[in-house]
Structure 1
Amino acid sequence: MQIPNKTYDIIIIGSGPIGIACGLEAKKHNLSYLILEKGCLVNSLYHYPSNMTFFSTSEKLELDNIPFISINPKPRKAEALEYYRRIAVSNDLNINLFEKVLSIESEDETVHSIKTSKGIYTSKKVIIATGFYDIPNYLGIPGEDLPKVNHYYNDPHFYAKQKTIVVGASNSAVDAALEIYRKGGDVTMIVRTPEIGQRVKYWVRPDIINRIEEGSIKAYFEAEIAEIKETSVILKTPEGEKILENDFVLLLTGYRPNFGFLKNIGINISQDEKHIPEYGKESMETNVSGVYLAGVICGGMETHKWFIENSRIHAQMILQDIDKKIKKAS
């Protein structure tokens, strides 16, 4: 196992847009840093659906005033991958990819030991910018582990001419339902609430409502899946139990941060259903001295609260606080 002979000023965990923003700020402050990423560059974004369109316009996704030029009113996934990759490469950011962080142990606020799948590092400060896309919200129902079930959606072509059930009513579920329908899939939506979610992209929500009303996409509202079988699913609906023939099930019921990882570090998590981690609103430093949070992970289960556009500022807030404390200690 690799044991480096230097201590970094900052270890940044996660190479998403906010992790990259933290790296850019570290360079500005002339602080030594290393970004650790368990997958590829902007790993979560890479695993978004292939045809995904952002809710935000391109200028709201920009980092460090570097222009994001898009040919579309709302940029697509491929454009965002190109943008963030070019930033990381052209700025020669210090990033180790495909290296998963396993644990963080803090001797005190200035000495942190970061164990990864490839080595051990020491750092004065740690920034956690890992997002929330890696752990699905499991339903815990019989058959959820069958091969025909997936908690992630990528491309509609796979579901052409197949009976596909989409569970959920958020942006990911609505996008999947519409795309699969338009590629020749037989789509049924299962929605717990009485209607399609209000947070669905404003230009998409009328589309899905109209497709449901005309019968192109079937939908069961105030309904839940009770069990998934090899060739069917059992539903609980206001009209009673229903059995639907089925080929594939997409459980697009949302995702959550890795709370276990945060708790193992010693970060306090609120005991309510929101599971908000403890951090200072001005510094973004957690209750574990020297460990900071950045980006959507700050929202706990409120994964709709923080986006790239409103959490970019975290990088500046954190680096200002770190720079001040490192200079004071030296």
Structure 2
Amino acid sequence: MVDVLVVGAGPVGLAAAIEAKRLGLSHLVLERGTVAETLYRFPRQMVFFSESKNIEIGGHPLVSQGPKPTRLEALLYYQRVAEREGLRVLTYTEVVGIQGEEGAFQVLARDRFGERRFWARYVVVATGYFANPNRLGVSGEDLPHVLYRYEEAAPFFGRKVAVVGGSNSAVEVALDLYRGGAEVTLVHRGRWVRPSVKYWLLPDFENRVKEGSIRAVMEARVKAITPAGLVLERPQGEEFLEADFVLVQIGYRAEDRLLREAGVAYEGERPLLSPEFETSRRGLFAIGSCGFGPDTRSVFIENGREHAKVALSAIARRRGGVGAGQGA
């Protein structure tokens, strides 16, 4: 049995493991993919909005070639931090259930050999949101040419691609596709893309639209998707947009299945959390965006890593202070 079992080896989960180690608490991290799986799944050419110092964990400096780190720089950084800290991380081990109570949790997991059980005094869930994209809720969204994850432009060269969305992800994908040789149309229900789009992307996008390199179809709601394209509802009536591929980039929501199935109390779409990020189930904590439902715009690595410090400090106090978990 360990003092703290962390679910998820993203930046926030790793920050929690580092805090546990430094507070003298035994720990184990379970991750269904690789370390920093979320970053691995980001678009390959993505550049962070945050400066390096704002996404560092454990006091380890993140050195980047530009003013902001790239996806690859951050991915390698978090993996190296886990290695240097000697964190206990089991990758490709997916948690499927949380049972028990404070002091005696059983965490059910699955790896390539089958089901496994782990025991922990406390459980900290840090599952993030990137693997749980918002859906359109229309017919045809499960067709094989409709994609919710974007990696790079190469597969779409020379094809008509509709990008649905109006925030950072949609704009960034549209620009990358255009430069990769795709014929791009961005479809958004608003009058224009969101003003919160990264300041270095917005003028680039606006200029590409003005010159006709990217088509922008605004005030358009997707009614249905067919093998040939999208049925759009617009102020002037129904329109059809031809598309070989549809990339849906309309945001994400907390990946909170484990919390819901563990029976924690919710208020609306968010779990009830204490100031220490403890759920209504004593001993079970939710840090980072997993505890904030659809509100993914206000929880980032920057403040998620602070959640880790607060939650682990609370656990350490219950365990009797620094060093209480060693050899337990």
TM range (shorter): over 0.9
Match of 2:109 in 1: 116
Match of 1:148 among 140, 145, 149: 145
Following TM superposition, by how much is the alpha carbon of 1:198 offset from its aligned partner in structure 2, in angstroms? 1.9
Match of 1:73 among 60, 67, 73: 67
Q: Does 2:174 match 1:180?
A: no
Match of 2:320 in 1: 327
Match of 2:29 among 31, 35, 53: 35
SS at match of 2:169: helix
Structure 2 CA distance for aligned equivalents of residues 230 and 179 of structure 1: 24
Match of 1:168 in 2: 165
Structure 1 CA distance for aligned equivalents of residues 258 and 308 of structure 2: 21
Following TM superposition, by how much is the alpha carbon of 1:277 offset from its aligned partner in structure 2, in angstroms? 1.6
SS at match of 2:271: coil
What is the CA deviation profile of residues 108-149 of structure 1, one whole-angstrom value per residue up to 9, with x for unaligned ones? Answer: 322111111141111110000000111221112121111111
SS at match of 1:256: coil
- 2:254/2:291 contact within 8 Å kept: no
Structure 2 CA distance for aligned equivalents of residues 160 and 293 of structure 1: 41
Which consecutive segments of 4 or more residues in structure 1 shift more than 3 A?
A: none
Structure 2 CA distance for aligned equivalents of residues 10 and 104 of structure 1: 13
Q: Does 2:299 match 1:306?
A: yes
Amino acid corresponding to residue 10 of structure 1 in structure 2: V
SS at match of 1:176: helix
Structure 2 CA distance for aligned equivalents of residues 180 and 23 of structure 1: 38
SS at match of 1:327: coil
SS at match of 2:163: strand
SS at match of 1:226: strand
Following TM superposition, by how much is the alpha carbon of 1:214 offset from its aligned partner in structure 2, in angstroms? 2.5
Identify unmatched segments of 5+ residues in structure 2: none
Amino acid corresponding to residue 98 of structure 1 in structure 2: Y
What is the CA deviation profile of residues 252-303 of structure 1, one whole-angstrom value per residue up to 9, with x for unaligned ones? Answer: 11122233321111222222xxx1221112x111111001111122321110
Counting only pairs closer than 5 Å after superposition, residues 190-229 of structure 1 correspond to structure 2 as 190-229=187-226
Structure 2 CA distance for aligned equivalents of residues 319 and 209 of structure 1: 45
Match of 2:40 among 37, 46, 51: 46
TM-score, normalised with respect to structure 2: 0.94
- 1:129/1:294 contact within 8 Å kept: yes
Amino acid corresponding to residue 17 of structure 2 in structure 1: G
SS at match of 1:138: coil
Following TM superposition, by how much is the alpha carbon of 1:59 offset from its aligned partner in structure 2, in angstroms? 0.8
SS at match of 2:266: coil
- 1:298/1:306 contact within 8 Å kept: no
- 1:132/1:256 contact within 8 Å kept: yes
- 1:104/1:113 contact within 8 Å kept: yes
SS at match of 2:270: coil
Match of 2:17 among 14, 18, 23: 23
TM-score, normalised with respect to structure 1: 0.93
Q: Does 2:256 match 1:259?
A: yes
Percent of aligned pairs with the same residue? 38
Farther off after superposition, 311-320 or 165-174: 311-320
CA RMSD of aligned residues (A): 1.4
SS at match of 1:40: coil
Amino acid corresponding to residue 102 of structure 2 in structure 1: E
Identify unmatched segments of 5+ residues in structure 1: 1-6
- 2:127/2:256 contact within 8 Å kept: no
